[in-house]
Structure 1
Amino acid sequence: MAMAMLQRRANVRLPPEVNRVLYIRNLPYKITAEEMYDIFGKYGAIRQIRVGNTAETRGTAFVVYEDIFDAKNACDHLSGFNVCNRYLVVLYYQSNKAFKRVDVDKKLEEIDKLKTQFNLNDDTKK
């Protein structure tokens, strides 16, 4: 029985964006990692959970599953799940988007440096 299930999983082709890391948004700010394990652990073995704790990352978390099929199952079932009157947004982590965000932040810092260097400000009146 277990061997047949493994063979079925081996034959399944998943979309390229599917991976073991889920990015969760719209979490209650007071949620704990233990509560996250209770919710997401029902779908498979979890390697790691990181809950955001800074002003920018509150309400978000990363959940890393041991198996990609468990991550897909959790994403399919928990997207839109209601937790404390908040509907979860469950997405697959995309590293290229994360790095693009870092690049944008660096470019904004460079622009600010150039503005101060050349004594330019945004207070131009029209």
Structure 2
Amino acid sequence: MSLAYGKGRNVVLPPSVNRILLVKNLPFKITSEEMYDLFGKYGGIRQIRIGTEQKTRGTAYVVYEDIYDAKEACDHLQGFNVMGRYLVVLYFQSNHKSKKIDLPKEEERVEQLRRQFQSMGNDEESEFD
């Protein structure tokens, strides 16, 4: 066994590693107690949020107290069979969140920029006439 996860923990982790795991392909009937039992083997857990809505069923977020515990859990539970389903365990990436854009407001901003640049172009042409 490697000392990478030992108390020394002098290992440099990649930037994608963080203490929040996104777990996909969970059985719909899994309970929070079962999640704590499964993921708690790898370290202290701050929070587990299991998706309950139609879009989020079968997914959960697991927040560890320590980043090294999250890495160990991710390494060991990726592809783990739970109730006939193979888990997909990823590091949560906040920069991949989709931004909601106010489309009418964005269209108005683009139109303002278009008018601004058209007027700048007309000014330059008149200087050289």
TM-score of the superposition, structure 2-length normalised?
A: 0.73
Give CA-to-partner distance per residue, 1:7-66, whole Å, 9 cap, x none: x31x21000000000000000011111110010000101000000000000000000001
Identity %: 66
| Residue number in structure 1 paired with 2:58 | 59
Number of residue pairs aligned between Structure 1 and Structure 2: 100
Taking the aligned partners of 1:33 and 1:93, their CA distance within structure 2 comes to 19
Give the superposed CA RMSD: 1.6
Aligned to 1:78: 77
* Deviation >4 Å, runs of 4+: none
Q: Which residue of 2 aligns with 1:90?
A: 89
Indicate whether 1:33 and 2:32 are aligned.
Answer: yes
Question: 1:80 Cα shift?
Answer: 0.1
The CA deviation string for residues 65-96 of structure 1, in whole angstroms up to 9 with x for no partner, is 01111000000000000001100000000000
Q: Which amino acid aligns with 2:73?
A: A
Paired residues for 1:1-126 under 5 Å: 5-6=6-7, 8-9=8-9, 11-98=10-97, 101=98, 103=99, 106-107=100-101, 110=103
**Gapped regions of structure 1 (runs ≥ 5):** 115-126
Equivalence for 1:124: none
Q: Distance in 2 between matches of 1:32 and 1:51?
A: 9
Mapped to 1, the partners of 2:29 and 2:66 lie a distance apart of 28
Structure label with greater radius of gyration: 2
Secondary structure (helix, strand or coil) at the match of 2:14 reads coil
Amino acid at match of 1:110: L
Q: Take 2:94 and 2:31, find their aligned partners in 1: how far apart are those partners?
A: 25
Deviation at 1:110, TM superposition (A): 3.3
Work out the CA distance in 2 between the residues paired with 1:110 and 1:52: 29
